[in-house]
């Protein structure tokens, strides 16, 4: 089997998880990861015995060398060995890196922090996989938008969705971050939130709006969704839909899943690396009906939820599988999802 050769640029919160995700795909080969400095993630990579080759993203390798970090080469060396790159750099850096990717004829996938203009396709593995087939540059949706679209798309494909209204209770920073410090305060953003706008970009026939509230927590976002389906659907039917989706985990308050921290702890108890969970979770007890409308709440594990869709993006861009059903099935299989 000729494996697709993949590089990861930016080895931070998302980048290290992307590298692990690619390494699990038996029809892909991780050529290496690229970064600029001996961050904690890079130091941990060294202490693990350098399971992935490291390339320096800038010309000055002094900081990495002084920290004793083994370097395989420069970013341009890696680009000459790969078919496609997952760019997980800070917002704005990916757009600059795109010029290098063009120079070496390498396809690239950018994360949610980049502007939509950086890519040919604004991509989601379940909602518009086919639009990404053969594309040179794809941009993924943000973590919240990724999970939101999974849930809405699941309903939309079965009975159609006219409109949705969402409230996002957003974690303020990732675990370990120190640059954002809300204390005893909630902060409201102006409506509509970008997640609602992005959902309409991916699924234009669904009318969406939303409000976002920043909260002083780190372990995951929670989104409440009020959806108006085109056909009436019972709670029992909706539960079956959610339960059959490989990237949705239905949980119950009665079983002890009281909130985002419960799910993070459960992921660690499962032995998942870094406490990661690829699925969004939907609380069974949160599903209620108001006339035709349905309401439910979902948990978004922000550090890992986008990893499956990134694998889908590689499959689409490289024409590994040409349909949503085939591509997502292979991603799910190699990531060990139901």
Known binding-site positions for NAD(+): 35
Q: Using CA atoms in the order 78, 84, 88, 94, what is the torsion angle rounded to 10 degrees?
A: 90
CB-based contact 317:132 (threshold 8 Å): yes
CB-based contact 34:58 (threshold 8 Å): no
DSSP, res 112: T
Point out the catalytic residue in the list 30, 84, 143, 164: 143
Which pairs count as long-range contacts for 177-183, CB under 8 Å and 24+ apart, including other chains?
177/218, 181/216, 182/214, 182/215, 182/216, 183/216
Q: Using CA atoms in the order 329, 335, 336, 338, what is the torsion angle rounded to 10 degrees?
A: -40
Closest CA to 100 of 167, 34, 180: 34
Is 154 in the active site? no
Helix residue ranges per DSSP H, the chain: 13-24, 40-47, 62-66, 75-79, 93-103, 143-159, 194-202, 235-244, 260-269, 307-317, 324-335
The CA-atom distances, in angstroms, between 329 and each of 83, 301, 324 are 22, 21, 8
User: Apex CA 143: angle with CA 308 and CA 300, to 5°?
Assistant: 90
Task: Enumerate residues 6+ apart whose C-beta is below 8 A from 31.
Answer: 5, 6, 7, 53, 78, 81, 82
Which sequence positions are flagged as catalytic?
143
């Amino acid at each position: 089997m000729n494996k697709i050769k993949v590089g990861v640029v930016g080895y931070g919160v998302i980048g290290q998880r992307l590298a692990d995700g690619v390494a699990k795909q038996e029809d892909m080969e991780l050529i290496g990861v690229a970064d600029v400095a001996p961050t904690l993630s890079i130091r941990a990579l060294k202490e693990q015995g350098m399971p992935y080759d490291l390339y320096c993203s800038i010309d000055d390798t002094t900081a990495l060398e002084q920290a004793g970090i083994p370097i395989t080469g420069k970013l341009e060396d890696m680009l000459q060995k790969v078919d496609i790159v997952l760019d997980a750099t800070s917002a704005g850096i990916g757009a600059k890196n795109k010029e290098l990717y063009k120079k070496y004829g390498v396809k690239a996938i950018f994360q949610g922090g980049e502007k939509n203009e950086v890519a040919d396709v604004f991509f989601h593995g379940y909602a518009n996989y086919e639009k990404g087939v053969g594309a040179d540059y794809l941009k993924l949706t943000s973590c919240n938008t990724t999970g939101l679209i999974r849930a809405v798309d699941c309903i939309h494909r079965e009975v159609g969705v006219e409109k949705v209204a969402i409230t996002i209770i957003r974690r303020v920073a990732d675990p370990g971050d120190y640059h954002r410090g809300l204390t005893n305060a909630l902060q409201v953003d102006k409506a509509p939130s970008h997640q609602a706008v992005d959902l309409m970009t991916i699924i234009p026939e669904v009318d969406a709006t939303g409000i976002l509230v920043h909260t002083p927590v780190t372990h995951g976002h929670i989104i409440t969704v009020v959806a108006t389906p085109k056909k009436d659907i019972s709670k029992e039917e909706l539960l079956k839909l959610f339960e059959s989706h490989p990237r949705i985990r239905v949980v119950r308050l009665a079983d002890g899943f009281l909130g985002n921290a419960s799910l993070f702890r459960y992921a660690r108890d499962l032995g998942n690396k870094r406490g990661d969970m690829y699925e969004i979770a939907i609380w069974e007890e949160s599903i209620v009906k108001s006339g035709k409308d349905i309401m439910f709440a979902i948990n978004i594990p922000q550090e890992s939820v986008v990893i499956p869709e990134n694998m889908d993006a590689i499959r689409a861009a490289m024409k590994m599988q040409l349909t949503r059903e085939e591509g997502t099935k292979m991603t799910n299989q190699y990531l060990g999802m139901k």
